[in-house]
Chains A and B, each alone.
Chain A
Amino acid sequence: MKVEQISIFIENKSGRLAEVTTILGFAGVNIRALALADTTDFGILRLIVNDCDKAINALKDKGFTVSKTEVVAVEVPDQPGGLASILHVLDKDSINVEYMYAFVERCGANAVIIFRFDETEKAIKSLLSKGFNILEGERLYGM
């Protein structure tokens, strides 16, 4: 029910994103989804990729600090109010979203929202009980 995400520490200076993506390209790693959180000094690049371990090894080899985190991928209809319907459920059950990002499935009618919760198990249970479709990691990596 959970998806593996890798997070990379990058300094806020030119060329770092290019460096990361080039390393992944050479390693033959395909990026499925990404989000960048930034501050004035540094940023954290979060990625869902087709081969998590390969990506981590390639980046560590080049001296990057990388970590693996479990996130949840939820499918919602790609239409107005789709995301709001999920957030209402979470709010009612007092589940905190640490951060989230979204992408639209290729030639599909659905959008996928990646969530990082403080209480992952509780969030999964709550969403499943309301009938939301939670994507397996394999499905996402192979998209």
Chain B
Amino acid sequence: MPSYFNNEFETLPRAALEALQLKRLKDVVERVYHNVLFYRHSFDSIKLTPDSIKSLTDLQQLPFTTKQDMRDSYPYALFAAPLEEIVRIHASSGTTGKPTVVGYTRKDIENWADLMARTLVTAGAHKGDIIHNAYGYGLFTGGLGVHNGAERLGASVIPISGGNTARQLMIMQDFGSTVLTCTPSYSLFMAEEARAEGVDFKKLKLRVGIFGAEPWSESMRAEIEEKLNLTALDIYGLSEIMGPGVAQECFEGKCGLHIWEDHFIPEIINPLTGENLPEGEKGELVITTITKEGIPLIRYRTRDITSITYEPCICGRTHARISRLSGRSDDMLIIRGVNVFPSQIESILVRIEGVEPHYLLVVDRKENLDTLEIRVEVDERIFSDEIKVLQELSRRIEKEIKDILGVTCSVKLVEPKTIQRSEGKAKRVIDNRKL
């Protein structure tokens, strides 16, 4: 019997859920129209007023909000509540220029804690669990987001944050951590360190790992579950929308992430044309926040690529599920005119047995031609004392990538641990092209 954090809302029949969404959508459109100049202008420019929203499909008439709109509004111009009402400010890492800033009212923080607690329960956590929270604390929403949800649930949370892996392992053993929250790549990094330090994950009490903040694959899940001896589940969230706890894979179904539709309306669009795509088709995830007060966003383009299903789930939750994220529309590399997502290359690598997902893509331009080099670490599973075996492996990877993605690449085998490990998000691409 699955347990819920909020039985009523998590299992709300579809019709009631949609009625609630419509009511909340009308409310948020009204609020942003009156309180956010950006939305007032964008609605006015297409002669749209809050009254135009009569059904959920009317949402599709509204303009998108993009990351660039958030940058242009730096720092507070998109806030719908006065600063006196804002009790917390987070910002996402600005890889280019200024970060994107988000503000939360007291009610937003409460909703976030509720949704994160719901997320934890969905992953099989409960009161009495010791939650080892290795997401970074600070401006990044990961650490504090999970933290507040764990406290709301009534679990014991260890706010260890990222880094200092030796100490993480010691505390995990001594404190008896039962739930691990961090990025999937950091969990594998921990497994490597544990092996080096003689720590046996089979002797730890870890039961569940809740991994997110970067795309990962089914094969990576298998590897994590084997090495860390736990059930690995996918969590989704982004600071613009709220932070961690926007969607979570359930322990029972382990197939797609329930997106909390009583607070967020998801859509899938074609990233090139902006058209809505039917259920099941892969495209860019667009989210409208319908309860947020601090910085509500209308049709925010997440740039994350996924698909959605409304099929009932065995866990009994009625909320739609998004599939494992397969990449970001802006991570896309264009190599000799071919669109390539690093995650596609990763899934090819992990399918070739034994190749650990420690790889780096190096893109360059030589004599006006793009080149792609894939550096792969050679560990004991793929090493051979015979040159031809290793060369065969390189050729196989090159061939599969050519066959599946249509790009020519060269594989370079490198010594273990020579590719830089990150304790947060893994860096998978170096683009040396001077365009």
Contacts and interface: CB of A to CB of B under 8 A. Distances in A.
Given A9-B413, A10-B415, 15 more contacts: A7-B384, A7-B385, A9-B390, A9-B415, A11-B414, A39-B391, A41-B413, A42-B390, A44-B386, A44-B390, A63-B417, A66-B380, A67-B380, A67-B385, A98-B386
Interface string B404-424: 000000001111111000000
A59 to B, nearest CB: 11
Contacts of B15: none
Contact of B413 (A42, A46, A69): A42
Among A46, A65, A116, residue most surrounded by chain B Cβ atoms (within 10 Å): A65
A63 B419 CA distance: 12
A92 to B, nearest CB: 24
Contacts of A67: 380, 383-385
Interface string A1-44: 00001010111000000000000000000000000010101101
A48 B429 CA distance: 39
A63 B386 contact: no
A132 interface: no
* A interface secondary structure, majority: strand
Interface of A: 5, 7, 9-11, 37, 39, 41-42, 44, 46, 63-67, 69, 98-99, 116
A65 B383 contact: yes
Contact of A9 (B378, B412, B417): B378
A65 B385 contact: no
Interface string B27-41: 000000000000000
A116 B417 contact: no
A11 B416 contact: no
Given A39-B391, A42-B390, A64 B385 contact: no
Contacts of B387: 37, 39, 44
Contacts of A37: 387
A65 B390 CA distance: 13
Interface string B356-383: 0000000000000000000000111001
* B interface secondary structure, majority: loop
Contacts, number: 49
Nearest to B413: A42
A63 B195 CA distance: 12
Contacts of B416: 63-65
Q: Which 10 A-B pairs have the closest CB atoms?
A: A7-B385, A69-B385, A65-B383, A9-B378, A63-B417, A37-B387, A11-B415, A65-B378, A42-B413, A9-B383
Contacts of A98: 386
A115 to B, nearest CB: 13
A39 B391 CA distance: 9
A5 B391 contact: no
A44 B385 contact: yes
A46 B387 CA distance: 11
B411 to A, nearest CB: 9
A7 B378 CA distance: 13
A65 B386 contact: no
B69 to A, nearest CB: 45
Nearest to B388: A98
Among B385, B414, B416, residue most surrounded by chain A Cβ atoms (within 10 Å): B385
Contacts of A10: 415
A47 B68 CA distance: 58
A129 to B, nearest CB: 27
A63 B415 CA distance: 8
A98 B389 CA distance: 11
A80 B299 CA distance: 83
21 contacts: A5-B385, A7-B383, A9-B378, A9-B383, A11-B418, A39-B391, A42-B378, A42-B390, A42-B413, A44-B385, A63-B416, A64-B416, A65-B378, A65-B379, A65-B380, A65-B383, A65-B415, A66-B383, A67-B383, A67-B384, A116-B385
Contacts of B379: 65
B147 to A, nearest CB: 34
A98 B387 CA distance: 10
B417 to A, nearest CB: 5
A17 to B, nearest CB: 13
A44 B413 CA distance: 12
Contacts of B412: 41
